[in-house]
Amino acid sequence: MATVTFYNKDIEKFMSLDVFKSQIPELGMSVEDSNDTSIVVDITPNRPELLYFNNLIREILLHLGILKPRSYDSEIKNLDGDLYVSPEFRSLRPYGIAFAAKNIDLSGNSLEYLVNFTEKLTDTYGRKRKKVALGMHNLDKVEFPLFYNLSEDKEFTPLKYGVSIKFSDFIKEKDNEGYSSIFGNKDGRYPILKDNSKILSLVPVINSDETSVSAFTRNLLIDINGSDETAVKNTARIIASSLIDIGASIYPVRVHMTQNKSSFISIDLKSRRASLHFKDFNSRIGLAEKSEKCLDLISRSGYLVKSSNSTSATILIPPYRTDIFGKIDIIEDMAIAYGYNNINAKEISGIYGYGNLDKLTELKNSLAELSIGLGYTEALNFYLTSRQIEFEYMLHDDPGSVSLLSSKTSTFSIIRTKLLPNLMMNLKTSADQPMPQKLFEVGNVYTVKGNKVEENLNIAFVSEGAKVNFNNLKADLEALCNYLKVHLELKESKDPAFIEGRTADIYIDGIKKGIIGEINPEVLLNFGLLEPVSALELTIQKLDY
């Protein structure tokens, strides 16, 4: 979740707060908080460009039809300089580009919005700078050409740090987010961006103070680097179009790959074209809108219409849209412009037919009904449990459990292999309640055999109280087997969780399926229980989906 704070006084330059607040959900986002000075909006993750104030305002004005879509291509100007990317740098960080943006006004809250935007953008879309990192510099302090390369551990003055410090020391002291470990260094040489004479940034950790940006900066240099070429390009297009909307012109640089002597121009803002048949829109959404209405929806979604006729249109996808994979995504935007709650429900023809529950559900329900008839109340436990409850308390060995790689809840480390341990915990929870206590559970249990999961449907009963014994449970088990029309046989057996001489394996139709007995007092104490407990658990069915 990415939230952004917008100031009321800035919003009110464009629209009333009420309009703003009512438009946010219409666009698929939510107002998280609002007070006298600001509004916090949760920005939808597929629209990273809306993390920027101006872009969100642009989106709303487009949606309301107040603003018309524009082209950005014309604001790309001539080349401004060269960027050399060394092979060493590329071995750590494959892609790096830069461009200049001139004639910007960063006064008021503009700089704060822009800085927050670049930070949130590289945090979300850039996956905490792993996929994409970005730096903003004062262009007027930069001397071309630029170099992305590796450098010895040197001293420089990091942004807002005040004094000069070595890369390695700065990382130790200030890199709490661990940005320096994303792609590390190579033999003690650090990835940097420098110009003709000085270091501009320790990539992707921090910029240099010397070229820092202030509210008075008019011209910017943006450098973008990352692990994924598409993501780097998309980030450049998002930033450049955002800056153009606040008055900038964009000046690309020529990027030189120093290993193969190839070069390319760092950025373009050409719009991708798409052709759209209105019937595709109408059939997906369930409408019958004519071309005029469709063209209005296209325009209010921010797409420029290049040409159109009565059945289709050729449209331009703005350069900041990174989430448009195909026509269907454009159709969704048109539906949003239409207003979801304006779409009338339409009955599906041929929809009627009989439904049913799955056989497994029906089996579980009939087992539950029988158990309730026998006086057992149903428990419903978590699948996730701990080795302590599952094995230690029950004096059992781990038969091969499905294990979690990591868990935020410390008591969860495996998936249950049996139902009984949880039921014993339930008796512990219920210790202050009147006896006797009878609980059952019907549910799935899991083990791993040779890296393959075995899943079974089990049923378990526990019965606690001074007068409860093996024979009560045996009688209930016989009733269960009679109901299920299966042949029951008990064979005396041993199990550490049960009292010796009062334990038996349950054989159903000649196959060993479970265990019945009186719980070992050692186990009772493990669960803090002070009354005798008799219990049984058996497998009803092996599950294979």
Residues 307-326: x where in contact with another protein by CB under 8 A, - otherwise, as a string: ------------------xx
Determine the interface stretch with another protein among 112-120, 293-301, 401-409, 486-494 (rule: CB under 8 A): 401-409
CB of 340 to another protein, least distance (A): 5
Q: Considering only residues 40, 274, 305, 360, which one is a binding residue for another protein as defined by CB under 8 A?
A: 360
Residues 404-443 that bind another protein (CB under 8 A): 404-409, 412, 415, 426-427, 429-430, 432-434, 437-439
Q: Considering only residues 13, 160, 261, 452, which one is a binding residue for another protein as defined by CB under 8 A?
A: 452
492 neighbors 478 (Cβ within 8 angstroms): no
Q: Which is nearer to another protein, 197 or 406 (CB)?
A: 406
Q: How many residues bind another protein (CB under 8 A)?
A: 95
Q: Which is nearer to another protein, 3 or 430 (CB)?
A: 430
**Measured CA distances, 348 to 137, 343, 351 (Å):** 57, 15, 6
Q: Which is nearer to another protein, 102 or 300 (CB)?
A: 300
313 neighbors 298 (Cβ within 8 angstroms): yes
Residues 224-263 that bind another protein (CB under 8 A): 228-231
Sheet of 488-492, strands arranged across: 377-378, 437-449, 452-464, 533-543, 511-519, 498-508, 488-492
Residues 35-74 that bind another protein (CB under 8 A): 44-47
User: What are the strands, taking DSSP E only, across 227-311?
Assistant: 249-252, 254-257, 263-265, 272-277, 304-308
Q: State yes or no: residue 543 binds another protein (CB under 8 A).
A: yes
Instruction: Give 378-399 as a 3 state SS string.
Output: ECCCCCEECHHHHHHCCCCCCC
CB of 488 to another protein, least distance (A): 22
Q: Which is nearer to another protein, 81 or 96 (CB)?
A: 96
Q: Which is nearer to another protein, 101 or 334 (CB)?
A: 334
Residues 141-200 that bind another protein (CB under 8 A): none
Q: Which amino acid is located at 251 in the chain?
A: Y
Half-sphere exposure of 364 toward its Cβ, with a 13 Å CA cutoff?
Answer: 15
Q: Which is nearer to another protein, 160 or 408 (CB)?
A: 408
CA 178, CA 176: separation in Å to the nearest integer? 5
Token pair recorded at residue 381: 């436990």
Tell me which residue of 431, 404, 87 sits closest to 261, measured CA to CA.
87
CA 488, CA 514: separation in Å to the nearest integer? 11
Q: Which is nearer to another protein, 27 or 497 (CB)?
A: 27
Q: State yes or no: residue 451 binds another protein (CB under 8 A).
A: yes
Q: Which is nearer to another protein, 283 or 311 (CB)?
A: 283
Determine the interface stretch with another protein among 241-249, 261-269, 379-387, 529-537 (rule: CB under 8 A): 379-387
Q: Considering only residues 35, 162, 163, 353, which one is a binding residue for another protein as defined by CB under 8 A?
A: 353
498 neighbors 396 (Cβ within 8 angstroms): no
CB of 396 to another protein, least distance (A): 17
Tell me which residue of 365, 321, 309, 396 sits closest to 47, measured CA to CA.
321
CA 389, CA 167: separation in Å to the nearest integer? 49
Residues 257-296: x where in contact with another protein by CB under 8 A, - otherwise, as a string: --------------------------xxxxx---------
* Distant-in-sequence, close-in-space partners of 451: CB < 8 Å, separation ≥ 6: none
Q: State yes or no: residue 354 binds another protein (CB under 8 A).
A: yes
Residue 542, classed as helix, strand or coil, is strand
Judged on CB neighbours under 10 Å (0-12, 13-18, 19+), 424 is: buried
CA 294, CA 338: separation in Å to the nearest integer? 9
Determine the interface stretch with another protein among 33-41, 174-182, 380-388, 472-480 (rule: CB under 8 A): 380-388
Q: State yes or no: residue 361 binds another protein (CB under 8 A).
A: yes
CB of 398 to another protein, least distance (A): 10
Half-sphere exposure of 388 toward its Cβ, with a 13 Å CA cutoff?
Answer: 6
Q: Considering only residues 181, 340, 486, 522, which one is a binding residue for another protein as defined by CB under 8 A?
A: 340
Q: Considering only residues 5, 71, 86, 444, which one is a binding residue for another protein as defined by CB under 8 A?
A: 444
Q: Are β-strands 82-85 and 146-151 bridged in parallel, bridged antiparallel, or unpaired?
A: parallel
Q: Which is nearer to another protein, 184 or 355 (CB)?
A: 355
Q: Considering only residues 61, 305, 368, 481, which one is a binding residue for another protein as defined by CB under 8 A?
A: 368
**Could you give phi then psi for residue 115, rounded to 5 degrees?**
-65, -45
CB of 300 to another protein, least distance (A): 14
Q: State yes or no: residue 357 binds another protein (CB under 8 A).
A: yes
Token pair recorded at residue 505: 């394996």
Find where tokens 């202050």 sit: 432
CB of 438 to another protein, least distance (A): 7
Would you tell me how many other CB atoms lie within 10 Å of the CB of residue 35? 8
